[in-house]
Amino acid sequence: MTASFDAEVAAWLRQRALDPTAADTSVEGARIHARAVNARSRAPLADPPVPAAERDLVLATTEGPVPARVFEPPTRLTDATIMFFHGGGWVAGDLRTHLQHMRLLAVETGSTVLGVDYRLAPEHPCPAAFDDCLAATVHVAGRSAGRLAVAGDSAGGQLAASVALACRDRSIPLAAQLLIVPVTDVAGGYADPEVNARYPSRAERADGYGLTLAAMRWFAGLYDPPGGGGHWRVSPLRAPDLSGVAPAAVHTAGFDPLRDEGNSYAAALRAAGVPVLHREWPTLNHGFFGLGGVSAAAGRAARRAAADLRGLLTTGQDDDDDDTAAANRAVIH
């Protein structure tokens, strides 16, 4: 029996479409709309996650300065730093649109979260976002005494997966990767019928559930103007070898045009011998991770994703020694 689309999310999407910011379809309009609707999605949270501290900083990486924001957990459960890469099609998201995502991860995992404010397209096309995320990760890896993980949603999930591949190639150890509704195959720019046919969800969920296939074509065209998308820096599913990357938790959604490429990436990782925990949420849509205040089911799924990452980060750690965990907190500058 086919699952029904979450009624609370459906009602939210109808209201979102009425937001005055939805009318401007320019790049700047898309950015303003993303900030507005993400702020609205946080407003109904009954018990919003509250980190112990938040601060902005600029990472002085070897590739240049990269702005970031650090979120410290109220209760430290791991010695880890989670590098978080926001979604938004490489174009419309930023640290403001993903405050809820990062705060939730910090509180639920008991880890430091560092959100990377990478450069956006079309002003900075591929591989600028990847370069910034990798540079930030390499920088923190050289300064943190604890474990290191990468995480992201949508385009940020793609960046996390691609950075995990780059870290493997550079012998930078990662404890985990959390990929939430990830982009994994941009080849053909979401306009090639042959590529699209590999992923039935692109047709089945092309419109009506938040993210649309048309929007993905627009995003891909702005980020990767030549429309190739075949390199693993933008399409991790196209990497020639996935073996040896960090253990992964992959969360996909039934009513998401990206569902099948996310599922395919989880399967490809598993086939390459990578430990994978894959969950598909059949009633939810692409943006579920930030909709905990909108939908009870989305809230449960988001907390489960954070718990999966926490599990990967606490494997082999002595959780009884809270003093040791506190002493091992990351030093980031």
Q: Is 86 in the active site? A: no
Crossing angle of helices 296-314 and 7-17, rounded to 10°: 110
What whole-number percentage of the chain has pLDDT above 70? 94
Q: Which long-range contacts (CB under 8 A, 24 or more apart) does 37-42 make?
A: 38/96, 38/97, 38/98, 38/99, 38/100, 38/290, 39/96, 40/16, 41/12, 41/100, 41/290, 41/291, 41/293, 41/294, 42/99, 42/100, 42/290, 42/293
- Sequence-separated (6 or more) residues with CB below 8 Å from residue 142: none
Half-sphere exposure of 185 (CA within 13 A, CB side): 24
Give the three-class secondary structure for 331. coil
Distance between CA atoms of residues 63 and 134, nearest Å: 10
- For residue 177, the cross-strand partners are 150, 248
Among 117, 256, 260, 308, the active-site one is 256
Residue among 245, 223, 231, 126 at smallest CA distance from 177: 245
Mean pLDDT value across the chain: 93
pLDDT at 317 over 60: no
pLDDT computed for residue 1 by the predictor: 62
pLDDT at 28 over 60: yes
pLDDT computed for residue 322 by the predictor: 37
pLDDT at 126 over 60: yes
Q: How confident is the model at residue 230 (pLDDT cuts 50, 70, 90)?
A: confident
Sheet holding 53-61, edge to edge: 53-61, 64-72, 112-116, 81-85, 148-153, 176-180, 248-255, 276-285
Q: How confident is the model at residue 332 (pLDDT cuts 50, 70, 90)?
A: very low
Residue among 180, 172, 177, 149 at smallest CA distance from 79: 149
**Residue ranges of domains in the chain, CATH in brackets:** 7-315 (3.40.50.1820)
The alpha carbon dihedral of 40, 41, 44, 45 has a sign of negative
Triad 217, 120, 109: Cα angle to 5°: 100
Distance between CA atoms of residues 157 and 176, nearest Å: 13
More confident site: 228 or 241: 241
Distance between CA atoms of residues 252 and 70, nearest Å: 26
pLDDT at 289 over 50: yes
Q: How confident is the model at residue 157 (pLDDT cuts 50, 70, 90)?
A: very high
Among 33, 286, 295, 308, the active-site one is 286
The counts of H helices and E strands in the chain are 11, 8
Distance between CA atoms of residues 2 and 172, nearest Å: 42
Q: Is 256 in the active site? A: yes
Among 41, 111, 154, 201, the active-site one is 154
Mean pLDDT of 4-21: 96
Prediction pTM value:
0.94
Bridging pattern class, strands 53-61 and 64-72? antiparallel
**Minimum mean pLDDT among 130-134, 284-288, 325-329: which range?**
325-329
pLDDT at 318 over 90: no
CA distance to 23, 60, 159, per residue, from 171 (Å): 47, 21, 18
Residue length of the chain: 333
Distance between CA atoms of residues 288 and 78, nearest Å: 25
